[in-house]
Amino acid sequence: MLPSVILNGGTSKANTMATKKSTYDEVFDTETEQIAQVKETEALTPLDAVTSDGREKETELSASPVLISKERLNAIEDSLQKLEAMESGIALNAKYREFDATGETVRGVYLGMKTIFKKDNGEVKPIECASWIDAAKQVWICGAKILVSQCSELPQGTPVEITYTEKVKVDMGFAKSFDVRPLY
């Protein structure tokens, strides 16, 4: 069993538990050896960098500690022991998909919605996007409003075919229209 419950730049400090909390989580209190309810994290501590050759360097960075409950730590212990033998999965960085030609069709498995952000006149605005993964194991996202609306009704994990059908006139200009079909 792994004993650490507060991981903070590689340091475990039980006596700082009362001042370093995270919303809606539980941690194992090493002093009382019981599960404790956790509240908001407010304290920031310096974050040192570790180089590829193992040297530690001071940085200008700070972060809240990573809080891991005893149960959560026990649940991942098996995976930790098998890390060296595991194969790497797909890249998690998505690419943004622009549909330009009418009739353009893609197939993939719908992953759900993803929020991205765009700067607009100095203001950061959220954009809801549909996301899917294709047969080449590339993750894609697209924020076309009609596509997002159609995909929002699909359960995650649904194989889909997405076809760009036409550009349609809307109140604010033009929008791209799509035909989204589940695959069986």
pLDDT tens digits along 133-146: 999 999 999 999 99
Q: What is the mean pLDDT of residues 5-20?
A: 37
Nearest to 43, CA basis, from 18, 64, 67: 64
Domains delineated in the chain: 6-85 (no CATH), 95-182 (2.40.50)
How far is residue 148's CA from residue 62's CA, in Å, rounded to a whole number? 36
Q: What is the mean pLDDT of residues 86-92?
A: 87
pLDDT band at 120 (very low <50, low <70, confident <90, very high): confident
Cβ burial of 152 (10 Å; 0-12, 13-18, 19+) is: exposed
User: What does the pLDDT read at residue 149?
Assistant: 96
How far is residue 5's CA from residue 118's CA, in Å, rounded to a whole number? 37
User: What does the pLDDT read at residue 38?
Assistant: 43
Nearest to 67, CA basis, from 10, 106, 25: 25
How far is residue 88's CA from residue 29's CA, in Å, rounded to a whole number? 34
> The whole model's pTM is what?
0.60
Going by DSSP bridges, is the β-strand pair 139-142/95-96 parallel, antiparallel, or unpaired? parallel
User: What does the pLDDT read at residue 107?
Assistant: 98
